[in-house]
Amino acid sequence: MRTHLKRAWTACAAGLLASGLALSAAAAQTAPSEIKIGTLYASSGPFAVASEGQYHGLQYWAAGVNKSGGVFVKAFNKKIPVKIVAYDDQSSTATATTLYNQLITQDHVDILMADFGSVLTSVAIPLAAEHHMLLIDPTGSGANFFTKKTNYLADVSIPSSTVWPLPLAHFILAQKIKRVAIVYGSNDFDASQAETLKATLEKGGVKPVYYHGVPTTESNYTVLLHTIAAHNPEAVIELGYAPNDIAFLHALAGSGLHFNMTFTIFPGQLLALMEKNVGAKTLAYTYTYPTPPLVAYPKTTLGPNTAAFVKEFTAAEKAAPNFLDAAGFNTGLIMQQMLATAPKFTQLDFHQALMDMSGKTTTLLGEFKINSHGAQMGELPPVAQLVPAGKGVTPVVVYPQDKATGKAIYPAPKK
């Protein structure tokens, strides 16, 4: 009897061992030889500069992980190299549609990542959902995208346009500024911010004295500035793309007008470009949202902190990174952590892994926090003032208090 039992146990153990070996062999067989990340970039057209920056950041991340043998994929319990499959959409939505489909249906990529910005991301959203693929959205922040619960969209490297200006609104209220003028580009990115800013200010008892949308192509703000001045505002907030900001600041410098506070978006993202185009004197004492690397996050739970990233990137690429390089790199980091924690190699598990990371992860761009609609609610940029430093200007974070590196010089001195 004992011998029979012993034999039975031995058989069971052998069976378990065999099935365990078989399972691990199956797992090893199904592990891909490379993780294919499909994305688009624009080498020409209106989104080229920004898109290439984001793509460059992603390439830098991929080169880094491949140097160390690839990304760790929990589902296969091993490191697997990353391969980026990328096509050029030339900033065209029609071309982007076919190329996103190409990535999904022909290249069978494992992870789908959108191109830069809301316009080129928009066409990928229904396609990704139709094919049950999670769309990793680095910089498409359109308010329209995040209107319902989804498992197939995650905005990872830029806050949703609807929450972006919250620190700015709170700063204006804290400074007790009562007369605010807001001029914004009539596009999703700027107008969503303008709406949030207006609503938050009004909630704090400040009704903007001027609130006006201009075409995205606006290039002459001279008349507009005099109209704004007639409303006697203390603060003038201009929300536009880089060309709008350049035109606005040029017009302000040439108009002889002075406001206690002037705010534009892009000096905080592309400071070198703005300095070159409008000059340090014009930028002096204006405010902006400083994005990494202009604002540093010293403590991270995932990847290098901002300073280390800048150092490593500059050494490897022989050029200092801008925000879009950081956004592309950050997207890579988030995908890396997603693969390292998703228990199964499925799109739904990828999405769940991101949700599990939400609120518990800090990267070089700040706190990663997405909601069930896929919108990024973290990574909020603080408010900074550009103060003269040598021949240029340097950002000094003035709000919120816990991130502040200096005090706002308010009202801004006359130049």
Partner 1 sequence: MRKPPAWRGPGLVLVALAAIFAVAPRLYSNESVLFTMMTFMALAQGLNLLYGFTGYLPFGYVGFFGTGAYATSLLVTFTSLPVIAAVLLGGLAAVVVGLILGPLFRLSGPYFSIANLAASQIIYNVVANEALKPITGGPYGIKIEHVYAPTASYVTMLAILLAATALAAYFRRSRFGLGLRAMHQDPISASLAGVDIVRERLIAWLASAAIAGLAGGAYAWNLSVFYPEAVFTLQISVFAIVFALFGGVGTVIGPLLGAALLYAFYAGIGVSAPQYFELLYGLLIVLLVLFLPNGLASLLTRRNVDVL
Three-state SS at 287: strand
Q: Among candidates 35, 110, 22, which has minimal Cα distance to 79?
A: 35
State the CB neighbour count (10 A cutoff) for residue 130: 11
Show the beta-strand stretches assigned E in 75-217: 78-80, 82-88, 111-113, 135-137, 153-155, 180-185, 210-214
Q: What's the min distance (Å) between Cβ of 348 and partner 1?
A: 19
Instruction: Between 24 and 372, name the residue whose CB sits nearer to partner 1.
Output: 372
Residues 83 and 130: their CA atoms lie apart, in Å, by: 24
Q: What's the min distance (Å) between Cβ of 88 and partner 1?
A: 4
Three-state SS at 111: strand
Instruction: Between 68 and 144, name the residue whose CB sits nearer to partner 1.
Output: 144
Q: What's the min distance (Å) between Cβ of 113 and partner 1?
A: 17
Q: What's the min distance (Å) between Cβ of 242 and partner 1?
A: 17
Residues 362 and 267: their CA atoms lie apart, in Å, by: 24
Instruction: Between 73 and 182, name the residue whose CB sits nearer to partner 1.
Output: 182
Instruction: Between 188 and 349, name the residue whose CB sits nearer to partner 1.
Output: 188
* Positions that interact with partner 1 (CB under 8 A): 43-44, 87-88, 90, 92-95, 97-102, 105-106, 118-119, 122-123, 125-127, 129-130, 142-145, 147, 186-188, 191-192, 213, 216
Q: What's the min distance (Å) between Cβ of 95 and partner 1?
A: 6
DSSP conformation letters of 203-267: HTT---SEEEEE-TT----HHHHHHHHHT--SEEEEE--HHHHHHHHHHHHHHT---SEEEESGG
Backbone torsions φ then ψ of 117, nearest 5 degrees: 75, 165
Q: What's the min distance (Å) between Cβ of 130 and partner 1?
A: 6
Instruction: Between 58 and 383, name the residue whose CB sits nearer to partner 1.
Output: 58
Instruction: Between 127 and 375, name the residue whose CB sits nearer to partner 1.
Output: 127
Place of tokens 């806050």: 159
Q: What's the min distance (Å) between Cβ of 43 and partner 1?
A: 7
The partner residues of 183 in beta bridges, in order of sequence, read: 212, 238
HSE at residue 315, side-chain half, CA atoms within 13 A, is: 7
Instruction: Between 128 and 206, name the residue whose CB sits nearer to partner 1.
Output: 128
